[in-house]
Chains A and B, each alone.
Chain A
């Protein structure tokens, strides 16, 4: 053990190096102790009024947009909605599809936004619950209602008056969607309800559920007779226990975020919890894939455009929002992305674009269908942490 450590009295031996390294590390820790206090970390809450950047929109005709992948019509085409926006306004759009997951995106920007630092984006698109969290953290800039008249005039009724931003001060829905069930009709008989996913023996080990806690737990709560929009901690505990039991039984193959339809098409998975827009697109490739409105109901959600703190092109972002709330533009977007269009009047405009989609209930659901949908209760700080932890333990333990 010691024999080789002492070759050459003055040279660098491993032991000396370690000792020197240890000394250096101790000095480093000391220095870090001054910069990074070992005591507590501040809350990430900010006041959007204090984290405002001067708006460069009028002189710097640019707009930096971050969105989910495949969530806009092909933007290099001359006739695309994005190109037309650039032509009409003279604003150059830097569009990136770098949002894959709400929680992941949150982790990415948390340190900057929580510290009132810019994230280099003028617009981000996040799902309701994450939008609600960021708004309550004070990370989002208010929109000037006078500059987004189309939003206030054309947003469909079911998406108004969300408890976390009733006056549309901070958010504008980009697209909405329904969470239901998809199954592969070539492999398995009809699936009608969410509880069948959890109990049917012929589906054992061939079912996937979504990693979005609010979608999946919304259904679990419904199968246990609770209302996802308003439930008690006991009802939550009951629902999560049920999920834990089903997972332990091996009924659920995996929790998946975005690749579930490949598994469904290839027959690895027979039935799964699914998002409406994904299913429309998959059905075009494989007619055996069927969309089901579960007997328990549907979960309704939106992804929302928001302007983060310290964005430097706020007015350009408002121009973008107003543009996409023109019914004709909204219809062209919906014809491509196939999610629920949040814009009143887009259905009429769709007649001239793709008449086959006008009666598609997954793009333009009627009011009855939307009345039978559920949203997930807004969770406060403490509840959110507890429930997410429960969820992570079941899906990740």
Chain B
């Protein structure tokens, strides 16, 4: 009986595995090959495979700044998403009552419009003569010639906004499954609300925290739309660099090497994180 179930399991995996093979493994293989091409090649002359591992060294030497910047922006945005998202998911799971479904729909609602349009609308919100900047200037938080658009603040705010739903949904899924009687029991055993939160609610929500942070951090680090539309030349993220190396400079080996470096870095960070966060059962 158990053997049979095993076979069915493998059969069910085949369609997905084939799909990933065609659309992930093969392009990834070609990406790695490109990253090792002779950097002096071009579209006219073609590219020799010279196993030019120097491409990686060059890429890091030339672009360590945007690499670190991407990690920093992605990290800050993830933390902001976690703080904002946890409060929201907690409210939806425990306090929303009959409004629960409506609130979930509202969280998802931004997905009904395009990512690009939503980010563009932030340009209006943060405009130099806009309401937000004027208010902050009035409150002396921003100087008279201070601005938000084309600063790191705008890029991180845009990232936070765009990836917030990816944080809220897994957090909600985890919190919604928490048996509320456990929280009541904690109160019955004379734990105050803060202790209850840290000893009961937070540990039970950890799977949501881990998947939410991963779903936010990974795409945020590689994002280039926010930096492109809301940032300036000093806030470019690694995605922008890869894009301009690929389409403008046609320097495919360098662009591919940077992509591989970015992937490796994210993978390493995620592995460390998942190990530290506990066990794989959290996922």
- Give residues in A with beta carbon < 8 Å to B: 1, 3-5, 8-12, 14, 17, 20-21, 24-25, 28-29, 32, 36, 38-45, 101, 103-104, 106-107, 110, 114, 136-137, 205, 211, 213, 247-248, 250, 252-255, 266-268, 381-382, 385, 388-389, 391-397
Give Cα A385–Cα B5 distance, bound, in whole angstroms.
Answer: 57
CA distance A12 to B129 in the complex (A): 59
Task: Select one of A10, A24, A36, A248 contacting B30, CB under 8 A.
Answer: A36
A45, B9: Cβ atoms closer than 8 Å: no
B247 touches A104 (CB 8 A): yes
Between B37, B66, B233, B280, the greatest number of chain A beta carbons within 10 A of the residue's beta carbon is seen for B233
Given contacts A250-B234, A392-B244, contact A385 B249 (CB under 8 A): yes
Q: Please give the distance in Å from A353's CB to the nearest CB on chain B.
A: 35
> Cβ of B47 < 8 Å from any Cβ of A?
yes
**Cβ contact within 8 Å between B279 and A397:** no
B45 at the A interface (CB under 8 A)? yes
- Give 1 or 0 for each of B39-53: 1 = CB within 8 Å of chain A CB: 001111111110000
Q: Is the interface of B mostly helix, strand, loop or mixed?
A: helix
Given the known inter-chain contacts A24-B21, A389-B249, please indicate yes or no for A266 contacting B33, CB distance below 8 A: no
A248: nearest residue on chain B (CB-CB)? B234
Q: Is B127 an interface residue, CB under 8 A from the partner?
A: yes
Given A10-B6, A43-B45, A382-B42, A397 contacting B236 (CB threshold 8 A): yes
Beta-carbon nearest neighbor of A254 in chain B: B232
Interchain CB contact under 8 A, B42 and A24 = no
Given contacts A36-B33, A104-B247, contact A385 B42 (CB under 8 A): yes
Residue of B nearest to A204 (CB): B145
Interface size class for chain B? 35 or more
Besides A4-B280, A11-B2, 13 new A-B residue pairs in contact (Cβ under 8 A), listed by A number: A8-B5, A10-B3, A12-B9, A103-B250, A213-B248, A268-B128, A385-B251, A388-B248, A388-B251, A389-B249, A389-B254, A391-B248, A392-B245
**Given the known A-B contacts A14-B280, A397-B66, are A388 and B249 also in contact in the complex, defined by CB atoms under 8 Å?**
yes
Interface residues of B in 8-51 (CB under 8 A from A): 9-10, 13, 17, 21, 25-26, 29-30, 33-34, 37, 41-49
Give bound CA distance, A62 to B123, whole Å: 42
Most chain B Cβ neighbours within 10 Å, of A11, A211, A267, A389: A389
Instruction: Decide if A255 touches B233 in the complex (CB within 8 Å).
Output: yes
Contact A396 B236 (CB under 8 A): yes
Chain A contacts of B250 at CB under 8 A?
A: 103, 106, 385, 388
CB distance from B37 to the nearest CB of A (A): 7
A47 to chain B, nearest CB (A): 13
Taking a contact as CB atoms under 8 Å apart, the answer to whether B49 and A38 are in contact is: yes
Bound: A38/B43 CA distance, A: 17
**Which residues of B111-157 have CB atoms within 8 Å of chain A's CB atoms?**
127-129, 147, 149-150
B-side contacts of A5, CB under 8 Å:
280
